[in-house]
Chains A and B, each alone.
Chain A
Amino acid sequence: MIYLEQFTYLLASALFIIGLKYLGSAKTARKGNQYAMMAMAIAIVITLVVSGIAGPVQIIVGMVVGGLIGGVVAKKIEMTSMPQMVALFNGFGGIASTLVAYSEYLEPTTLPVPLDVNITLILSLFIGTVTLTGSLIAFAKLQGLMPGRPLVLPLHQLLNFVLMIGVVIFGVMYVMAPDVPMWPLLIIAAAAIFGVTFVIPIGGADMPVVIALLNSYSGLAASATGFVLSNNVLIIAGALVGASGLILTQLMCDAMNRSLFNVLFGAVGTDDSTGDAGTGGGEQKTVTRYTAEDAAMIMDTVQSVIIVPGYGLAVAQAQHVLHEMAEILTARGIDVKYAIHPVAGRMPGHMNVLLAEANVPYDVLYEMDDINDEFQNTDVALIIGANDVVNPAARTKKDSPLYGMPILNVDYARTVMFVKRSMGAGFAGEANPLFFDDKTMMVFGDAKAVVTGLVKSLKEE
């Protein structure tokens, strides 16, 4: 039986790897997800069969309850809320790992408990709990339950340091005296606080990095639990997720030109992140205001448009009407493309999903590197609800928090149109000099209202 179990776990592990590989290409992604699903089903079924545990009713009840909740959430969730949901699910994965590890502590499978099991048990309790509380904070920030701006406590780094030292001390005490129930509980408590203090100083704009990192942690937590149980499928699947989460974290950091260290401990983009009060800078420069009708008139005369969508577009739920506008323009023979900055949205690749939901075909979406040379030959760059990712200050202004971040070269287009709620700076708090450029048209208002107006004017002509 042990061989059957082990070989089936091996099959599941292989399917996870194939699934993850297929998830990496647009054509095969859906199949990849199904392979991973199959792998999970196989792993669950063999566990149930081999351990002879199809019996106990609590297992069936637990699976049905969890499955139903997950299924309903997956069906109902708005695509704009995807980052929160992933954060929350990460947290659930984390707590599941912690619970399994603690349960193993209470009722060990092998006695006496080997040293290496005790050590990995500490890791599992720690990583799982950090993943839980860190994810809950990320969820609260994204859901607007707590302010998105960085919260820095007095002596914040010292506190984190003390917590880490605490975990190490409790861990050593635990290994020396595993029978004392206080130590694992203290490890969990310190990890819970650390998860909170780890995420609260990170601002809303950096959430793509945090979500990717927490995703990595949830995998590592599962892997650590696999070490505790000497279960290879847990170790492998967890390690795959841990690695993929780390890579995405690194990609997000590169896209913002920040180091991971800086994102986690820098607390950049502080305080006035929502700053809707015009932070136009010292000398009063003038901005040319236009209406949606003016914008529609310009659109009548052009040959090429590149649309730059940002999070403001998603918040306003304007992606559908934007697609309608793009179709009208395309029908008139205008070349319409979308330029997607790597950190557009609130998690890696979020904007692609939002546009896909609005039926925008993915082959008109262009990544930054592929489209940046085209702006100079483009009549209109239409920027909707984005700011930092097109701010030329990132190229020149050395003291700016944006400095060095790769941006979309919208300022090379012949006309630049901003659809924006206000003059406010972006998350980085850096004023955008492009607002004051002669070739820039500012159309103020809610993205959906403005684009709807644009569509209406275009249709009337």
Chain B
Amino acid sequence: MESLIVSIYVFTLAVFIGFELITKVPPLLHTPLMSGSNAISGITVVGALLAANANNWKVSTLLGVLAIVFAMINVIGGFMVTDRMLGMFRKDKKTEKGA
């Protein structure tokens, strides 16, 4: 039960940080932010790795492997597409030169 209390502490504080970080984000970045944070939610892959770790196969191992596949799609796809999007954002070069 003690670990639960600690977990609740950690969770609550992280939620507050999340609110603080995101509140001032300009609309320009909302889509990359969403796909980027979507990739972060793939952190569940860590749990999947633990679940799939067995030398003799059980149902739980199979579920773990499936979870790895889904979570990795989420992680790699999410980060890569976010990078692709952010790479397209650019300022006007003409105005940058001070015209």
Contact = CB atoms under 8 A, between A and B. Distances in A.
A248 B30 contact: yes
Contacts, number: 386
A104 B24 CA distance: 38
Instruction: Among B22, B53, B93, find the residue whose CB has the most chain A CB atoms closer than 10 A.
Output: B22
B90 interface: yes
Contact of B35 (A48, A86, A229): A86
Contact of B53 (A53, A69, A367): A53
Given A21-B21, A103-B51, A349-B32, A219 B37 contact: yes
A361 B64 CA distance: 44
Contacts of B48: 62, 96, 99-100
Interface string A71-100: 101110101001001100110110111011
Interface in B58-97: 58-61, 63-93, 95
B27 A51 contact: no
A303 interface: no
A33 B36 contact: yes
B10 A215 contact: no
Interface stretch (A161-169, A231-239, A277-285, A440-448): A231-239
Contacts of A244: 18, 21-22, 33, 37
A73 B73 contact: yes
Nearest to B43: A237
B31 A243 contact: no
Given A93-B71, A99-B67, A348-B30, A44 B45 contact: yes
Interface string A10-45: 000100110111011110011011101101100110
Interface of A: 13, 16-17, 19-21, 23-26, 29-30, 32-34, 36-37, 39-40, 43-44, 47-48, 51, 53, 55-56, 58-59, 61-63, 65-67, 69-71, 73-75, 77, 79, 82, 85-86, 89-90, 92-93, 95-97, 99-100, 102-104, 106-107, 109, 114-116, 120, 211-212, 215, 218-219, 221-223, 225-248, 251, 340, 342, 347-350, 352-353, 356-357, 359, 361-365, 367
